[in-house]
Structure formats: structure tokens, C-alpha cells
Amino acid sequence: MKTIFLVLLLLASQLCSAQIDLLKVASTKANTLLSSSANKDEVAKGLKEALVSGADKATKSASAKDGFYANKIIRIPFPAEAEKMKQTLQKTGMQSQITDFEKSINSAAELAAKQVLVIFVDAITSMSIQDAFQILKGENTAATSYLRKQTNAQLYNKIKPIAKKAIQQVEVTKYWNPLVKTYNTIPFTKAVNPDLEDYVTNKTIEGIFVLIANQEKEIRNNPKARTSALLQKVFK
């Protein structure tokens, strides 16, 4: 009786193992056949269309009035390295000045975001068919990751001088310098003065890519976001 039981247990174990193997094979084939109704050119064109659409919407959203400040996801906060300074100044009743400064750096980011779409479009149009297929089979934000890798350095070089001009235009230092001056007069405090141009530049880039990633996930997961026949064919 024990022998029969052991034989049955062994057979059940082998059956479960075989089912798991079949599932793995099915999963692999599903990935291989992803978008099988679209040819290579269509996959590349579809991904480029999706990325251009996502980049366009992201830059328009980020560069709108309060596009950064009113969006909790990408709003630029007080510089982290000066957080102790912020807390100290809040205790001295300077919250309104802190708010004015935070609004000003977000306004600078919004101005800087207006002029970067061309960089994204250039990177997207040069994408290879091989890259397109790898991205299509990748994670929900694979295209965004690819785009960031291709454009990050160029975006920084493009945005920093724009951010510098924007900082002057919205008078960031008008709000920042009094905060620093007041803080530095408080006994036993360590002087803090981060590079605001670098800070705004990096936060602008980071915010735009957050928005692009959201657009990519929407197109991948929501059929209603696929606004053209090609997108519907590639992402199905």
C-alpha cells in the first residue's frame, strides 16, 4: 500500500513539474509572438509614435503654468541639502518666504521644460528596429529608460543655460538670498548654499521623465490611450 502511495505521489510530482515547464514555454512563446500581427517596421514606427506622443504630452504638461508646482508627483521641493536650513527658518516664522522660493524654482523648471521636445524627437527618430523590439518586450517603462539613457547628458547641457536664464527671469535669488542671509545670522548654524542652477536642471529632467513614464504605462496598459490604428496594432 505504501509502495502504491509513493508511486502515485511521484507521478503527481512529475505531472506538476511538466505543467510548470509547459507554462514557462508558453510564456516564452507569448513574448516571442508579442505583436505578431505587426511587422518590424510597424513595431518601430508604433514605438516611435508612442514615445513622441508621450514626450510631447509630458513637456506640455510640465511647461504649463504651475505644471511643476501644482503636480505633487514632480513638484520641486526645497533643496534636500538645505532641509535643516528650511526647518530652522520655519521656526523663525519665514514659511511664506520659503513658499515663495519653492514656487520660484518650480516656475524656472516650467520655463526650462518648454524647449526640450526637439531633443526627445531626435533621439526617438534614430531608434533602431532592434531597440524597438527589445523595448516592446520590456517593462512598463522600458521606452522611457531607453530615452533617458540616450538623452540625459544632452538634456542637461540644453536645460542648464535655460534654467539659469529662467532663474533670473523669475527672480529665484530674490527669494533665496534673504533666506540664506537670515539663516547664516543664526548662531551655531553651518552655511548652506547649493547650486540652484544644477538643482533646477536635474529636477526638471527628473520631472519630465516621470511624466513620460506615466504616458508610456498608460499606452501599454490602457487600450483607450492608443489613439491611432498603428498603436492599437503594436500594443495589443
Residue 5 confidence class, pLDDT cut points 50, 70, 90: very low
What is residue 169's predicted lDDT score, i.e. its pLDDT?
92
What is residue 164's predicted lDDT score, i.e. its pLDDT?
93
Q: What is the DSSP string of 126-150?
A: T--HHHHHHHHTS-TTHHHHHHHHH
What is residue 11's predicted lDDT score, i.e. its pLDDT?
42
* Range with the poorest average pLDDT among 23-32, 35-44, 86-95, 213-222: 23-32
What is residue 81's predicted lDDT score, i.e. its pLDDT?
85
* Half-sphere CA count of 2, side-chain side, radius 13 A: 0
Longest CA–CA separation in the chain, Å? 89
Task: Tell me: pLDDT of 219 over 50.
Answer: yes
Residue 12 confidence class, pLDDT cut points 50, 70, 90: very low
Residues 186-204, mean pLDDT to the nearest whole number: 88
Q: Please state whether the predicted TM-score (pTM) of the whole model is above 0.95.
A: no
Question: What secondary structure letter does DSSP report for 80?
Answer: G
Sequence spans of domains, the chain: 1-33, 38-234
In this predicted model, what pLDDT tens digit does every residue of 133-150 receive, in sequence order? 888 888 889 989 999 999
What is residue 197's predicted lDDT score, i.e. its pLDDT?
93
Dist. CA 78–CA 179, nearest whole Å: 12
Q: What is the CA 63 to chain-centroid distance, rounded?
A: 15
Residue 37 confidence class, pLDDT cut points 50, 70, 90: low
Spatial CA neighbour of 207 closest among 91, 111, 95: 111
